[in-house]
A and B are shown apart, each in its own frame.
Chain A
Amino acid sequence: MLKNKAFSRQTKQGRVIKEVREHYLRDDIYCGAPYCKSCNVSSARLSASPSTILVLDTNVVLNQIDLLENPAIDNVVVLSVVLAEVKNKNIAVYNRLRALCSNSLRKFFVFSNEYHKDTYVNAMAGESPNDRNDRAIRTAAKWYQGHLESASILLITNDRENKKKAIEEGISAETIECYVKSLGQPELLDLIVQPPSEDVNMDDVEDLRPSKRKVIYSEHKPMSEITSGLLRGLLHQGKLRVNRFNPFEAYVGSESIGDEIIIYGRANMNRAFDGDIVAVELLPQEQWHEEKSLALADEDDDEEDVHLAPNSADDAPRVMNQGQTAPEEMKPSRPTGRVVGIIKRNWHSYCGSLEPMPMPAGDGGRAQALFVSKDRRIPKIRIQTRQLGNLLDKRIVVAVDSWDRLSRYPTGHYVRTIGEIGDRDTETEVVLIENDINTRPFSAQVLACLPPLPWSVSSQDLTNPIRQDLRHLRVCSVDPPGCKDIDDALHCMPLSNGNFEVGVHIADVTNFVHPGTPLDDEASQRGTSVYLVERRIDMLPKPLTEDICSLRADVERLAFSVIWEMTPDAEIISTKYTKSVIKSCAALSYVEAQARMDDSRLVDPITSDLRNLNGLAKIMRQRRIDRGALTLASAEVKFQIDTETHDPLDIGMYQIREANQMVEEFMLAANVAVAEKILKHFPPCALLRRHPSPTKEMLEPLLRTAEAVGLSLDVTSSKALADSLDRAKGDDPYFNKLIRILATRCMTQAVYFCSGDLSPPEYLHYGLASPLYTHFTSPIRRYADVIVHRLLAASLGIYKLPGVFQDRPKLTSISDNLNYRHRNAQMASRASIELHTLIFFRKRPTDTEARIVKIRSNGFIVFVPKYGIEGPVYVTSKGDNGGEWLVDEKQQKIRKLDGSASYGVLGTVRIHMEVVEPQPNRPKLQLTLV
């Protein structure tokens, strides 16, 4: 099997190191055509009958990956030399190409030409690597031509030289444009990326606006200069993050400075996108702090939309020293810079719509259009399309191709249409795509991992020594109404000695999801279930989520239990962890549970259990608060959805009852208990959750607002903050809650991490004031809990620890993915709520009460408690620079000059809410003063 034709290749790596590597050439690499007589066809993927086989060159793959993803392009041979080149140049495109190659619906075959004895080519003296690779591609194409005589081989290349040589060598070759044209599907032409150098298409129309043909951006420095600049400390490298709420402001976290560098304005950003790795040059110190003038220099409308009130600092706009009127006491504390080069692009495809424009005269031809991304961080993108009329009212996906310095906007191409703007399904899909949420149905391999249905507890499960039979216990679950994925249940049993036995029973998901299976891989990729207003995207397939794992009433289910013995004062005497079999006797909703507890006439066993639990929970909660846990508040809202149209019928604040807090309390206790256990057994590889303490800067807006209303908050510790929040009592009942909401949004979000990556003091969960915390109680909908279940099982000696826990980098990347997915899921559900809020108000203009949370120069930002939304109210019309209004930054007040009206922060105003459509197909919610 081994073709013994070894030879050496020498490479130089930086220093003069000679590397000699073996390279075996084989004769068992097959062509992939099912009709081939000389090859093994077991892994053949090309079309069953001889037809045109496409061989692509590297640049075609790099530039036209969107086109390749279109099913019209098929029967393609991907050469390993192309794969290697693509991988070096753009890992994202490589991954997409790999996905195509492994997609069973597509006929993409990878041919390892570099390892085939007949298609390997040795670099000739003086030949550049590029030329050598081009030659390798031609050699492989030629080999295919000779090997599969019945099929025609077509080499697709946009490189003129390569095409010419190929034709000379007797290989048929075409440019991608010609090939696509020959397919006779004009809409495919939109997918073709126009090469920036206009190498091939000479018939392209000249740019219609010659005035724009001037240099707008400064040139990027060459890589060599950037490298030396970085070395000498003149330049700084970092990832560019654009302010979510102000696309003209970006930050580059630089390690060399140890601080963030702020970049104001598109000119200084110099064509960098969010997520790009850039090289930044610091501006001279006197130019720091000039955001205002720059921000206004761009002509884009910078109106703020109404949006959902943020829940944490991560969601909130990062507003720095908003007071431009602030006197010199505010020193320019943060360095400002400009981008001089882009080290690595983070371009991918974006969702959005075309900017409204009149139809060009000659319809059907090629038209230029501007694309506006849903993500405000992304600049407008110029695209060419032949189907302008069709696309104007659609949500579309667009990919970026290039951005030269003559053009204000980057150039891109159309990828696909999602649906009509404003349509609920379309917008929901946009939300999902924007947040990188996988909504594809589970694959057959994943579903194959499920136990056969209908599933029930078997006798093996009952006799298994690792599992305790707890079916005799009176277990019940308390969840939101309509909850189908019940992953936790409780029991409480008075003991003869006056103590209580309290058990938290969590669905035993790891009994069904085994490490290393496709099911596990899929779940680990998805990371979490996503809850949108009208739908749920599950992490695990439906049978597991809603049936096999769900701890429903009156059926036997497998569980992982944490059982405490507690004194009536809720002191934990002992903790026991065990796998178990339980039988829940009631699946209650919060409302039902609350009603039972409140109804003093009921004395049935379940109700008394609930009361006992509630009593214990209250003590535990108080103890936790005394320890310094913050009672934070968020403005969660809840929709009532029409069951048929799925349109929202009503909207209101989510009501938190004692029953919620009771369940929450025991879940927290279980999580803390498990965190302690797994960390004790696996100090280097436990998956924990931490909540970093907020920095002083992050709390700054809260302090400023509090000061304005004459409130002093102590933020030295979570305990101090909790106490001072408790003391903050205003004249109206909602005041305290409002302050808490403002405090909450100053905190960052809690994150998962691997215990080996940080030192123990950093494990702290600030909000819960707990030195250790993890997630154990929702394995059906969170993958972190699945991992923790495995760790706990291993620490009990029930199962051995899966191999992945030995691999620290892998574990870190898993926890990073979990954080990413968790965050995206949250963003998506917020976006979904925003979307439904908009739909709700479309037909219902409403007057309501709102609270001012921030004063601006031309108005203020209000928060509407009833609907949990936040948005700007303008006291002056746009363009009018607020002549008759006076802003008092220090007092956070805005006053009319004539003294007829005055608004202060946290003050109450009445507003009118209405959906308006300033531009066709662009509805937005507008808030105005009544």
Chain B
Amino acid sequence: MMRGIQLSFSNTQKLRLEKALAQLESLSSKVNSNATVIVADTIPVDEDAALKGHGTLEMDKNVVATVCGVVERVNKLVYVRSFRARYKPEIGDIIVGRVIEVAQKRWRLEINFSQDAVLMLSSMNLPDGIQRRRTAIDELNMRSIFVESDVICAEVRGFQHDGSLHLQARSQKYGKLERGKLLKIPPYLVKRRKQHFHHLDQYGVDLIFGCNGFIWVGEHVEVKDAMLEDQVNKSDPQNTQSASLLGSSEEPTYTPLEIRQYICRIANAITVFSALGFMVNLEAVMETVTLSLSLNLGVHEMLEAEFHVRVAEQEAERRSTSTRRK
């Protein structure tokens, strides 16, 4: 099953792919496959007092799944972690989103959730970095910060009383993302980790794994020292504004070709990985990139059938060694 890609495999490629996938299947724990449920399956629970979490429903004293996925048990809590659902926000998640509307005192962002997320003007650091009340002028200048279709990185702040989801961007590491590529993959392929921002030094590329399945691959940006910037900004706010608006004009006006190629290479690696349905994380991506480089593949060649097969084989190999190590 290959979602979203139409590839023509040769017979041998097909066989190799099948073999690799079969190996993966045999590697995955029996528990995992036994815990798989689909809609309306009854979930066995030991005690009556089990807490029913997401994806479950009590029906005739049975706990029944309402989605397809894997049953997870944490103490008394029983829930079903579904595959292929939209993103379910948790407070503190780092996400990548796209601005779709600039409204009064807020931006609306598409983040692959059942609603659009809200980023209040008040929940973000102003360019001048000062904590202060937002003025009417700030409101008028909102478009100078983010406009429609900008890609933004932010953090989930929580649900408001009216049920809407709010974000915040009160750190320098959050904010507008530029000079790069946004990838959308199913959220279940991104695991919540401590570190979602990665700076790949050797390629000069930043990689952000948004928990919502939006992944940013872009040219590395040095996080400016807040104090330093403050000073500059204080001295000449007018200048700063122009710098942030036309920032590119002062710095190198274009991203070097090499970096652009790396961006695409990494993006393609992620695309291939997610197309195969493998969990996407830094190590896997790096390995895949390395593989493509070692094979001397052009960027576009990564999307061909042969590379998919290679990646699958490599993943099978990787997982089998890791289990053996265990």
**Does a CB–CB distance below 8 Å link A and B in the complex?**
no
Residues of A in contact with B (beta carbons under 8 Å apart) = none
